[in-house]
Structure 1
């Protein structure tokens, strides 16, 4: 539905900012922006610098979300 609601184009940058926390809204209808318990998965160091690890995981998630869109 993300692409369909945006004229057939996946809003990659906007979704990335929502996922990484840069688009945090004070009145978020989904509640607190605190990372849930499984958030440790995004902070685990797999031998790469931690911030690169997080960026890679976000990129994989974005690619998945973009891939499952129906235009």
Structure 2
């Protein structure tokens, strides 16, 4: 798979982990699902950054999203 795709999936999973974490804490439950999402997101982001020969900068992320969505369409 492509490192750009790993980065996009990791960022999306990380974004989905935040509401799940807040929901678990507000209901007094342990945030098991949020922790799994955060670990998967972190692993995918680290995989993307380490396997990309050039690396990623913070300002590159919107371009990466655009490239990945453009390839899928």
More helix by share: 2
TM-based fold match above 0.5: no
